[in-house]
Amino acid sequence: SEVAGLSRSNSSEKYDALENLNRSFRLNSSVKCCLRVSRIATMFAVVVLCSLFFSMYPDRDNPWKMLAVSPSDSFSMNVTDFRDNALLKLQVAGPFARGLLDPTPQDYILIQVEQSEQPGPRRRRTQQVTHNWTVPLHAERSDQIKISKTFEMLSSDPIIITIQAFLQDNEVVPLSMTHQSLYVTKETQVAIAGVILAGV
């Protein structure tokens, strides 16, 4: 009878140990499942928020504008569809020089981006910003090269873009240009995409 009692006691202890192992395994499985679900929910929320942000503040792409400039005829345009805290991206295509450039080119175009912020309740004086972008021209005027540059602006006030040609001869330079209002820089978009991919 003592042997039977010891056998039943050992069996009971083994059963309790197995039961405890099963409980801890089920608990660990539940914790892992909760962590997995919370991770998926967090990534879904991040994707939804990024999608909403990009839909509220899209990059405005405008059609390309054909134009021509010469030493006696410049080009000027006003950009009025602009919002606060935005970056202005200009893309210009023309017979530009490639590779290493002469620091003092003889033929070039000068692109000037100018904005004046009018006085308001917080500012008594007019604030003005002017960006100058010098682009050397190719001597043969053969290849059409597309270049771009981004400018930081002050506010949603109108922007004046002026293009002048400085040439040795009085010839006409054909160009094409478009502009975009960027609310998130490409570096920020890449960083957000990297965070999403890292989470997945």
pLDDT of residue 197: 61
What proportion of the chain, given as a percentage, has pLDDT over 70? 59
3-state secondary structure string across the chain: CHHHHHHHHHHHHHHHHHHHHHHHHHHHHHHHHHHHHHHHHHHHHHHHHHHHHHHHCCCEECCCEEEEEECCECEEEEECCCCCCCEEEEEEEECECCCCCCCCCCCEEEEEEEEEECCCCCCCCCEEEEEEEEEEECCCCCCCEEEEEEEECCCCCCEEEEEEEECCCCCCEEEEEEEEEECCCHHHHHHHHHHHHHHC
Q: For the segment 119-133, what is each residue's pLDDT rounded down to a tens digit?
A: 766 666 777 889 999
What proportion of the chain, given as a percentage, has pLDDT over 90? 26
Q: For the segment 6-27, what is each residue's pLDDT rounded down to a tens digit?
A: 454 555 555 565 566 566 656 5
Name the pTM for this structure.
Answer: 0.60
On the question of pLDDT at 146 being above 80, the answer is yes
Residue ranges per structural domain of the chain: 1-57+185-200, 61-183
On the question of pLDDT at 55 being above 60, the answer is no
Q: Which CATH class is domain 61-183?
A: mainly beta
